[in-house]
Structure 1
Amino acid sequence: MPNKDDKQIHIKLDEQLHSKLKQTSQKNGLSIQDFVKKTLNDELTYQMKLPLEESKFTFIDLFAGIGGMRLAFEAAGGKCLFSSEIDKFCKKTYFENFGEIPEGDITQIPVDDIPDHDMLVGGFPCQPFSIAGVSKKRSLGKEDGFLDQTQGTLFFDIARIIKHKRPKAFLLENVKNLRSHDKGKTFRVICDTLQEMGYSVSSRIMDGQHFVPQHRERIFIAGVHESLNVNNPLDELELPEPSAKVKDILEKNVNPKYTLSDKLWDYLQAYSAKHKAKGNGFGFGKVDLNGVTRTLSARYHKDGSEILIPQRNKNPRRLTPRECARLQGFPDTFSIPVSDTQAYRQFGNSVTVPLVSAVAQEFITKLEQVEQDNSSVHLQHG
């Protein structure tokens, strides 16, 4: 989406070059304009990138989404050398904020095309391991987890890259149900695979409400190469006491379009009453503005029922996309160039940025300590 401050350049191309440009753009699933932007940006990044000495560490961003992990690791002093994301709408948001269009399907990218790096980070797709995803697939008679041939094997692309690139460390994120999926077999396969490649592996379920006003539990799997001989950062990370409140992330002037219609509000109330009578917990989630919300999900665009903001003398309303961004800890400078529907999906699928930032900082503290210890050893031996 063009920005009013965008600059224009006009270039005349001969017919043959224009034809090649058009064919290559289509092959990459991009418009000619976006492909030219990507190509120029990649070349300029290559030509002008900062010396790596000015960064504390390097990392790659897999299953990048809209870049929540990247924001966190850049804030800790890291330099992103490579990113991969398959969703075209996420790519648009990523490009708008980082000036880089992520590479596409990770299963199609040879490891030799991925640069060496200190850390690998990624929130690999959740659906095969989520409660909702598993139930849906089984109801359709489909396999899930590692038996799912389309998504379940994506973890092995992470393993493929780690095996060949041998980063110092990695951080993976997923839904907390990953630990119990298939009676724990899936999780054991993941951990065993990573340990067999020479990494000390630890996992921890952490709640985003330590940093933002949202109850959001996710599992993090962290690994540090055994040769570094340091404790796993997840084991020693101390989380602050929750203090954030919903009222702190709300916008002051909200478009009336986010207020629920009478029809939808009546439906949600009737639906909740019906299930309450049956002893079920299904229903809408009207928020205590001095408390925290339920977990923001990718389906929030459908009716917003899990997180509804009360309004005086009005039906409750949905969160705005900007409020969803704040609920996940994204800064207000983060651009949202997509429709509300896509924005809700993107933030619902993203990570809680301040939580990942805390993990990233703990990682860097550990890695810097290793470098200091090695320098000390070299000096003593010298």
Structure 2
Amino acid sequence: MELKERISIEDIDGKKIKIRLVEPEDNSSAILTHYLHNYNNGIKKYYEEDAREYINEFIKYKELENKVKFDVEEAIQQLLFQVENVPFPTPKNYTFKFIDLFAGIGGFRLALQNSGGKCVFTSEWDKYAQITYRANFGEVPFGDITKESAKKYIPDEFDVLCGGFPCQPFSNAGLRKGFEDTRGTLFFDVADIINRKKENGTPIKVIFLENVKGLKTHDKGNTLKTIIATLKELGYNVAEKVLNSKNFGVPQNRERIFIVGWLKDSEKSFNFPLGMDNDSNPIFKSEDLHKTKLTSVKSILIENPGDKYTISDRLHAGHLRRRKEHKEKGNGFGFSLFNGESVYTNTISARYYKDGSEILIEQKDANPRKLTPREAANLQGYDKQFVIPVSDVQAYKQFGNSVSVPVIQTIFSEIKKQLL
């Protein structure tokens, strides 16, 4: 692979430093942090050769800065501290390994780490999502998963592939409905990774995917049929179901489709948990069902959110006008108001930053307000310790695009029990 040379400003040892890097496709930080995260297990071999180059550059910088010799082990220990001293480190006694594709800000990772898993590879192309991911997990995702410069680092030794891939049409959907039909889409790259591991003799045990509810009817249902046919062609039994976050202790009406694949020769089965009813009783009985109760919107709200989140008189008047116009036309579109007593909100979307119209919170003697980024995180079931290092605009996009963590964790409790 052709290498390129550049001067990079990297926040590697806790401060901004200038390092001369020789790197393939700008994956230097991903290679280095993946190497460090796997330093004490066999996975490090997939990153070691290239990572050592960057460590040597780091050593040269430290020696220049401190005017003393700086050995490899000392450098590695300093770097290890930086990637391990994060809010959500790898569980010490992990029981399975997984890779996190189309990772966003790490909703899948958080849920699977909570279930005892270790992430050994992750990819996410959005640079702002990468910042949030690193701040919380100490690891920089690889970039474009369609490129060999990222795929070549995926290890063989892992049990679960997970991710929320974009919904895209297949050019030949309705014809063969299989692997070849998916070319030109990002799902093809998921299938390609699965196929590579199968041909290597290291088949992936479990495939765990998430998408918008509309995938079920996209292209008259052909898109979902092609995905299922592809997974079956690759040697998997497949189950799919639309689940709603509001049934999993998350006060949000958010429907998403989940797809689980497990090897046909495994002689194992899988059933989706359905969540809880309005009396907080499990609909699907499972000893490992996520132990959360149905809550109200009050549970995700913070005190003293700040005046900046109160919408302006002009925006409020615009919302009221559009609501009236929609009502006169006989449809229900317009902005939506909620308060602490509401059972759940509408779905938060990536466009929430624009005007917040889908979820506005009532305020006494004031215009309604938008959710704060922290409340958006709460609404998706993220831990209170989850760091939000980006602007409000980027944070709203990230949480709007994210999975609801408790839903992922509950589904995986069944996957882990029945499949691993």
Q: Which TM-score tier does this pair reach, normalised by the shorter chain?
A: 0.7 to 0.9
- Displacement after TM superposition at 1:289 (Å): 2.5
Match of 1:156 in 2: 188
Structure 2 counterpart of 1:349, from 401, 408, 418: 401
Match of 2:297 in 1: 246
Alpha-carbon displacement from aligned partner over 1:190-215 (angstroms, at most 9, x marks no partner)? 11111111111010000001221000
- Displacement after TM superposition at 1:361 (Å): 1.1
The alignment status of 1:82 with 2:121, answered yes or no, reads yes
Alpha-carbon displacement from aligned partner over 1:207-226 (angstroms, at most 9, x marks no partner)? 00122100000000111111
Alpha-carbon displacement from aligned partner over 1:127-172 (angstroms, at most 9, x marks no partner)? x4xxxxxxxxxxxxxxxx1249999611111111111222111111
The one-letter code matched in structure 1 to 2:316 is: W
Match of 2:319 in 1: 268
Cα pair distance change 1:155/1:257, threshold 3 Å? same
Match of 2:418 in 1: 366
**Separation in structure 2 between the aligned mates of residue 53 and residue 367 of structure 1, nearest angstrom:** 22
Assess if the C-alpha contact under 8 Å between 2:10 and 2:16 holds in 1: no
**Separation in structure 1 between the aligned mates of residue 338 and residue 300 of structure 2, nearest angstrom:** 13
**Separation in structure 1 between the aligned mates of residue 257 and residue 184 of structure 2, nearest angstrom:** 17
Match of 1:28 in 2: 26
Cα pair distance change 1:47/1:104, threshold 3 Å? same
Match of 1:177 in 2: 214
The alignment status of 1:225 with 2:263, answered yes or no, reads yes
Cα pair distance change 1:176/1:238, threshold 3 Å? closer
Structure 2 counterpart of 1:103, from 142, 147, 159: 142
Among all aligned residue pairs of Structure 1 and Structure 2, give the percentage whose two residues are the same amino acid: 47
Q: Which structure shows the higher helix fraction?
A: 1
The alignment status of 1:278 with 2:326, answered yes or no, reads no
**Separation in structure 2 between the aligned mates of residue 292 and residue 173 of structure 1, nearest angstrom:** 21
The one-letter code matched in structure 2 to 1:84 is: S
The one-letter code matched in structure 2 to 1:42 is: H
Cα pair distance change 1:167/1:150, threshold 3 Å? closer
Cα pair distance change 1:362/1:87, threshold 3 Å? same
The runs of at least 4 aligned residues of structure 1 exceeding 4 Å deviation read 6-11, 37-40, 49-53, 148-152
Alpha-carbon displacement from aligned partner over 1:207-256 (angstroms, at most 9, x marks no partner)? 0012210000000011111111111242xx24123521001110011110
- Displacement after TM superposition at 1:103 (Å): 0.5
The alignment status of 1:329 with 2:367, answered yes or no, reads no
Assess if the C-alpha contact under 8 Å between 1:122 and 1:173 holds in 2: yes
Match of 2:154 in 1: 114
- Displacement after TM superposition at 1:317 (Å): 0.2
Normalised TM-score (structure 1): 0.81
- Displacement after TM superposition at 1:57 (Å): 1.0
Provide the aligned length of Structure 1 versus Structure 2.
332
Assess if the C-alpha contact under 8 Å between 1:200 and 1:232 holds in 2: no
Where structure 2 has 5 or more consecutive residues not aligned to the other structure, the ranges are: 1-8, 44-90, 173-180, 198-202, 279-293
Where structure 1 has 5 or more consecutive residues not aligned to the other structure, the ranges are: 12-17, 30-34, 129-144, 369-382
The one-letter code matched in structure 1 to 2:362 is: P
**SS at structure 2 position matched to 1:91:** helix
The one-letter code matched in structure 2 to 1:239 is: G
Match of 1:377 in 2: none
**Separation in structure 1 between the aligned mates of residue 213 and residue 123 of structure 2, nearest angstrom:** 23
The alignment status of 1:208 with 2:245, answered yes or no, reads yes
Assess if the C-alpha contact under 8 Å between 2:262 and 2:419 holds in 1: no
**SS at structure 2 position matched to 1:282:** coil
- Displacement after TM superposition at 1:288 (Å): 4.1
**Separation in structure 1 between the aligned mates of residue 362 and residue 261 of structure 2, nearest angstrom:** 43
- Displacement after TM superposition at 1:49 (Å): 4.6
**Separation in structure 1 between the aligned mates of residue 105 and residue 373 of structure 2, nearest angstrom:** 14
The one-letter code matched in structure 1 to 2:189 is: D
Match of 2:79 in 1: none
- Displacement after TM superposition at 1:125 (Å): 1.6
Which shifted more, 58-67 or 48-57?
48-57
Assess if the C-alpha contact under 8 Å between 1:300 and 1:348 holds in 2: yes
